[in-house]
Amino acid sequence: MKIKIKYFSEYYPRLEKIAKGDFIDLRVNSIKEFTRTRYIIEGEEVRKETKTITHNKWFGNTFEYKKGDIIKFGLGVAMQLPEGYEAEIRPRSSTFKKYGLIQTNSVGTIDNSYKGDNDEWMVEFIAMRDGAINRFDRVCQFRIWENQPSFEFEEVEHLGNKDRGGYGTTGIR
């Protein structure tokens, strides 16, 4: 299967599928949106001030962020996924440890209709601590899946199976 890909920077390292795993790393290419909330103390009053900056740039080599900042990164690629397929974007296992960033929607879904020339893949993070990130750092990964098959729900009173339990019911060993 071949997938058409457009890169948004000639310097962006080209994507590659490595033998260790099924996911492909994505890198920070640009800052699409940046929101910082700060609290201003004036006498006995505390005022909340939120500022959102929308742009499509990268400033310098390193971008510094503060705890609580919300950052939407452009991931430097657009793709034409085949009909019947979608992609899931999730953080790399080291993203929180290295950067203190948590993906705001936990998993991002790219369906095959998101395939225009300017449909750059993006990811949004919230900073849990102050930190810094460099352009082209690897922060997330994706894989391509077949779409969920079509089905109908059939409402019943009983499923006819034994209850298994929920969170933590299978034990720890």
> Please, what sign has the CA dihedral across residues 129, 132, 135, 137?
negative
Q: What is the Cα–Cα distance from 31 to 53, expressed in whole angstroms?
A: 9
Q: How far is CA 79 from the centre of its chain?
A: 16
One of 22, 25, 69, 111 is an active-site residue; which one? Answer: 111
- Contact indicator for 81, 112 with CB cutoff of 8 Å: yes
Token pair in block for residue 43: 């006498």
Residue count of the chain: 173
Bin 168: left if φ > 0, else alpha if -120 < ψ < 50, else beta: left
111 is catalytic: yes
Active site positions, annotated: 111
